[in-house]
Copies of this chain bind each other. A is one copy, B any other.
Amino acid sequence: MILRLVKSVTDEQIRFLEDRIVSLGLRADVSRGIERTLIGLVGDTSPIDPGLFTELEWVEEVIRVSRPYKRVSREQRPEGLTIRVGSITFGGPEVVIMAGPCSVEDRPSLLSLARRIQKAGAHALRGGAYKPRKSPYSFQGLGREGLLFLAEASRETGLPIISEATGLHHHRTPAGALEEATPVDAVIEMADILQVGMRNMKSYGLLEEIARRTGPLKMPVLLKRGESATLEEFLLAAEYLALHGNPLTLLCVRGIRTFENQQYQRYTSDIAAIPILKRESHLPVIFDPSHATGDHSLISPLSLAAVAAGADGLLIETHESPRQAISDGRQSITPDELTDLIVEVRRLSGVRTGRDQIPAL
């Protein structure tokens, strides 16, 4: 960290800074140029809040040299973190496929779909029991009952479950009752991986609470990138989880919100984020083509692109019968399409031997 001071800085103000720097356990390296005075901070500055300096009128700019995230950084674990859930391994040679419906609708269709997904070769079952919806009039999910169906599907198929925990509130079921257990409680109780949705990536208090509860259970958290989160903010959200007790985070890249949000794609798929996150952090990186594109015809090319760019896994919305069923979204593929995609992913990841070769810092 380097501080660039204003031209008119006084000796007293420089001493004030030196004292503050020393009080933080660092050393101050003052360099007075003709035009500007600079102070370098020597030591481990990653946990230092730059706000301690930007707030001072006589500090013109704080230039960060080292990364503000530390526990999740690649340096902390150059070989990369592998996370095991049952028999599957994130961060290893195989691309992990998680598939399932956007939201759990009813028991029979979920069980049937789960069996087909397993047959297709997927590794885990995704499904939403709590659905964050932009309109209060939209279906908000079955709640705890949806998780019960998922748990049953898991017992039948052996597929571990991933489901989103939307918060610490009390969910109102479609029948109108308020559930006793919060979404966080219920997902911890019944799923194998807890998903934090993109709308909550910056709900830092919620992240802390989730880390405190899931950490002791060694339950991995799949953290989705916020739709307008910078990569630094994304990594710092993972740092919240790590600092407060849960280092087992899966970083999930999806689309970001840009001007390109109308006709052809709902979000912009930030594929470059995949190799950047692999370089900056030791955490496994997952890609979600369904929410990124909002268009089932783009799921296959974008999944392959993500794998080519180094993704460790894919999270794909799948629905059994888009042609007749009510509940199929435009962004879902069928189990047959999933089967084909998994074949292509395997072929691709076999060729891309360099997939786990991380771009050098």
Contact = CB atoms under 8 A, between A and B. Distances in A.
Interface of A: 2, 4, 27, 29, 31, 33-36, 38, 40, 42, 46-49, 51-52, 54-57, 61, 63, 65, 68, 130, 132-140, 166-172, 182-183, 199-200, 202-206, 208-209, 227-228, 230-233, 236-237, 239-240, 243-244, 256-265, 268-272, 274-276, 279-280, 292-293, 297-298, 300-302, 304-310, 322-323, 326-330, 344, 347-348, 350-352, 354, 359-360
A203 B205 contact: no
7 contacts: A29-B35, A33-B40, A57-B322, A132-B205, A167-B168, A199-B204, A305-B309
A-B pairs, top 7 by smallest CB distance, nearest first, are A228-B228, A31-B31, A297-B359, A199-B202, A168-B168, A169-B209, A169-B205
A272 B298 contact: yes
Nearest to A58: B323
Which among A135, A169, A256, A275 has the greatest number of chain B C-beta atoms within 10 A?
A135
Nearest to A231: B264
B261 A272 contact: no
A57 B310 contact: no
A57 to B, nearest CB: 6
A323 B6 CA distance: 13
Nearest to A272: B269
Contacts of A260: 230-231, 256, 270
A24 to B, nearest CB: 11
